[in-house]
Amino acid sequence: MICDNCGLGLQGGDDAAVFLCLNCGTAHEPLEEGLVSFSPITAAITTDLAVAGVTHYLAVWRLAVSVTGAADSAWERIRRATAPNPAYLYVPAFSLMRAVVQRLGVSVTEAQPDLELAPGLRGLTDQRPALAEVGAAALLGAAPDHITGARAPGAAVGAGPGFGTYSPVVVSRRDAHTLGHFVYLAVESHEARDLHSIDYGLETIGEELLFIPAVWDPRCIHEYNWRLLLREFDGLVA
């Protein structure tokens, strides 16, 4: 496919729901009316810790939502903590693995990070000097495929996730609306013993495609080997 802004080829494979133009920094989504272009948003690196390894940018849908539910729900506490700023639901868009969507979606939604955003794909000009090595012993293992989760025999974790600076986008805008319910219920499940008792209403009123900076770090096992380069996550690896 060709970018309708600059005429160069778009990045994205057979599983892509959104295609990227790394030349002009635009995104292109196949819809019923054809290929529709829009500007994604890139979050800046805000971590106060040293960055070890190559910086990647993970695709995430940020949903503006209207939620009705119990006054003592986890979401209401998140919303009150972020006021007067809005609270968002975050749906990872770079993986189809249920566990990745749940764990990373919940962690970013609960953190409600204070993002420094810029339009377009800006990560290539937003790199920090990286540590030369992080210890070979810590990087031995096999790297999971970013879509299926399968591990390639003999593949080194330090080799990275198998894509370049920007992750693929394999979750469409419409699917992100559906997965927003999944992330919301996962947030609530941290405190509710019986999900069948949760009575809620959730409507997506807007969405943005973000790219969040991260490095492949096998120490962050609960984040599926991703260390998000945001200050709100520094406590996980400090």
The predicted structure's pLDDT at residue 150:
37
When pLDDT is cut at 50, 70 and 90, the band that residue 193 belongs to is low
Give the mean model confidence (pLDDT) for residues 172-186. Answer: 96
Establish if 119 belongs to a structural domain: no
The region of weakest confidence among 6-10, 41-45, 57-61 is 6-10
Please report the pLDDT score of residue 191 as a whole number. Answer: 62
Report which of 80, 76, 61, 45 is spatially closest to residue 177, judged by C-alpha positions.
61
Length of the chain, in residues = 238
Burial of 126 (0-12, 13-18, 19+ CB in 10 A): middle
Out of 57-71, 85-99, 104-118, 120-134, least confident range: 120-134
CB-facing half-sphere around the CA of 131: CA atoms within 13 A: 11
Tens of pLDDT along 100-110?
999 999 999 99
215 strand-pairing partners: 55, 227
pTM of the predicted structure, to 2 decimals? 0.84
In a domain, 37, yes or no: no
Mean pLDDT along residues 206-222: 90
Contact at 8 Å (CB) between 28 and 169?
Answer: no
Domains held by the chain: number: 1
pLDDT value of residue 105: 96
Is residue 5 assigned to a domain? no
Mean pLDDT is lowest, of 31-35, 129-133, 138-142, 220-224, for 138-142
Q: How far is CA 58 from CA 85, 197, 203, in A?
A: 23, 34, 25
- Computed over every residue of the chain, the mean pLDDT equals 83
Q: Are 70 and 145 in contact (CB under 8 A)?
A: no
**Residue 136 located in a structural domain:** no
pLDDT score of 144 more than 50: no
pLDDT recorded at residue 174: 95
pLDDT of residue 235: 87
Query: Higher pLDDT residue, 183 or 14?
Result: 183
Domain-embedded: residue 87: yes
Contacts of 170 (CB under 8 A, 6+ apart): 15, 16, 17, 93, 94, 95, 96, 147
- The arithmetic mean of pLDDT across residues 108-134, rounded, is 72
Inside any domain, residue 81: yes
> Which of 141, 160, 143 has the alpha carbon at shortest distance from 151?
143
- Crossing angle between the packed helical segments 173-189 and 74-82, to the nearest 10 degrees: 110
Position with higher pLDDT, 141 vs 217: 217
Which among 176, 123, 146 has a CA at the least distance from the CA of 13? 146
Domain for residue 18, yes or no?
A: no
Q: Determine the straight-line distance between the first and last CA of the chain, rounded to whole angstroms.
A: 43
Domain that holds residue 203: 45-113+141-236
- State the DSSP string of 137-180: GGG-S-PBPTTT-PBPTT--GGG-SSS-SB--B-S-HHHHHHHH
Res 139: pLDDT? 31
